[in-house]
């Protein structure tokens, strides 16, 4: 189901080009750069995560969240122009196949102010051990490219809900593996 929190969007499973979630909400500017939107449940959870992190001295900022089809189209073609098709496909989704279109995915930036270098931030270490407590998973882990189709993205997190996030975290799974396990 398209509005399911566990919706699988990857290279094989896409969304209609017209799909825009109906419950998108603006993330509090305290936790996001500029105007960023997520679906209600994910928006609530990322603000709780951001606020708890902040109280411990970690500054986590959402630099990308919901992206519509058109935005992804332009972004993907920009990647192809710069990196070439093969490289672009490992780090950028073609339009209709981006998890960002679900309104359940974010790219995070830490206190070192560069999402590309999120892995080097103190926030990354915190996220690694705590994101699942808020229903988020590291979506493209290291050494899972053969399953996810994407190279390691330490900054990209996906909201899947508390139960799934805990199982995925504990058993070191990808969303693909988790969903397969359920059926
Ligand atoms: Zn992302």
How many CB atoms are located within 10 Å of the residue 113 CB? 11
Q: In the prediction, which pLDDT does 107 show?
A: 98
pLDDT of residue 33: 97
Q: How many angstroms separate the alpha carbon of residue 89 from the centre of ligand 1?
A: 13
pLDDT attached to residue 20: 97
| pLDDT score of 106 | 98
pLDDT at 83: 95
The candidate with the shortest Cα–Cα distance to 169, out of 142, 146, 135, 143, is 135
Exactly one of 25, 123, 153, 176 is catalytic; name it: 153
Sign of the dihedral defined by the CA atoms of residues 161, 167, 173, 178, in that order: negative
Distance (Å) from CA 122 to ligand 1 centroid: 19
Element (H, E) at 128: helix 122-130
Rounded distance from Cα 107 to ligand 1 centre (Å): 5
Cα(55) to centroid of ligand 1, in Å?
Answer: 25
Tell me what pLDDT residue 87 has: 94
Q: Which domains does the chain have, with CATH numbers?
A: 24-177 (3.30.1380.10)
Residue-by-residue pLDDT tens, the chain, 183 positions: 889 999 999 999 999 999 999 999 999 999 999 999 999 999 999 999 999 999 999 999 999 999 999 999 999 999 999 999 999 999 999 999 999 999 999 999 999 999 999 999 999 999 999 999 999 999 999 999 999 999 999 999 999 999 999 999 999 999 999 999 988
Q: What is the pLDDT of residue 89?
A: 94
153 is catalytic: yes
Handedness of CA 57, 170, 27, 14 (dihedral sign): positive
Q: What is the distance in A from the centroid of ligand 1 to the CA of 66?
A: 9
Give residue 183's pLDDT: 81
Give me the pLDDT at residue 95, please.
97
How much is the CA Rg of the chain, to the nearest whole Å?
15
So what's the pLDDT on residue 1?
A: 84
Catalogue the E-assigned strands of the chain.
24-26, 37-39, 61-64, 105-109, 136-138, 156-159
Report pLDDT for 128: 96
Give the whole-angstrom CA distance, residue 156 versus residue 136. 10
* DSSP structure class, residue 32: B
pLDDT of 51 reads 98
Residues, CB within 5 angstroms of ligand 1 (ion): 107, 156
Task: Please name every residue paired with 38 in a beta bridge, in sequence order, or none if there are none.
Answer: 25
């Amino acid at each position: 189901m398209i509005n399911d929190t566990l919706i699988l969007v990857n290279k094989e499973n896409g969304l209609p080009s017209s799909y825009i979630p109906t419950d998108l909400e603006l993330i509090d500017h305290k936790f996001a750069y500029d105007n960023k939107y997520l679906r209600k449940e994910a928006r609530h959870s990322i603000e709780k995560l951001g606020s708890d992190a902040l109280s411990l001295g970690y500054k986590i900022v959402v630099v990308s969240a919901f992206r519509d089809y058109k935005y992804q189209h332009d972004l993907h073609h920009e990647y192809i122009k710069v990196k070439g098709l093969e490289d672009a496909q490992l780090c950028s989704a073609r339009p209709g196949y981006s998890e960002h279109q679900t309104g359940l995915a974010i790219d995070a930036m830490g206190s070192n102010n560069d999402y590309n270098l999120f892995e080097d931030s103190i926030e990354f270490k915190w996220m690694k051990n705590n994101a699942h407590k808020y229903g988020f998973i590291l979506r493209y882990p290291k050494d899972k490219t053969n399953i996810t189709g994407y190279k390691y993205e330490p900054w990209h997190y996906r909201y899947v809900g508390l139960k799934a996030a805990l199982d995925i975290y504990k058993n070191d799974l990808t969303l693909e593996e988790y969903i397969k396990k359920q059926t």
